[in-house]
Amino acid sequence: MKNKLFFLLCCLMSYHIVIANDNVQAQINLEHVGKKGNHTEYYIRAEQPDVYYDDEGQVIVVDGGGEVAYYDVGIMAQSTADVVISQTVDGYYDTIDVSSLASDTYTITFTTPTGNTYEGTFNIN
């Protein structure tokens, strides 16, 4: 009886883990904008955040890891070239609500306090 109960408990825990990971976020690939220099190698700076678009939650997830205190963020609609969102987000972890944005392709720009700029694009359907 104990083995069956243990097995059932493990199955239920596994089910909840699968359900929790069901919400997939699409990574937004960022590129460093600005001076390219003479270096041929490509490296990711420590202050460059990991950024994801969560279609279900309609948010942009920013995981900066605390390398900088904050990021200045601008989101521009590519069809109109209008900046539709401009805000400052936490350098550790933050989200940006994009539920009010219309279907379009958007350019998102992150500027660090050290003067580096990172840019990427995402789509809202």
72 assigned to some structural domain: yes
List the CATH number of the domain containing 28.
Answer: 2.60.40.3080
CA 115 to chain centre: 20
How far is residue 26 from each of residues 6, 83, 108, measured CA to CA in Å? Answer: 36, 22, 14
Structural domain that includes position 115: 24-124
* Of 9-13, 41-45, 103-107, highest mean pLDDT: 103-107
- For the chain, the farthest-separated pair of C-alpha atoms sits apart, in whole angstroms, at 69
90 assigned to some structural domain: yes
Strands 50-54 and 93-97: unpaired
15 assigned to some structural domain: no
Average of pLDDT values for 7-30?
61
pTM comes to: 0.76
- pLDDT value for 44: 73
pLDDT tens, position by position, 48-100: 999 999 999 999 999 999 999 999 999 999 999 999 999 999 999 999 999 99
3 assigned to some structural domain: no
107 assigned to some structural domain: yes
64 assigned to some structural domain: yes
Residue 77 contacts residue 106 (beta carbons within 8 Å) = yes
Q: Domains in the chain: how many in total? A: 1
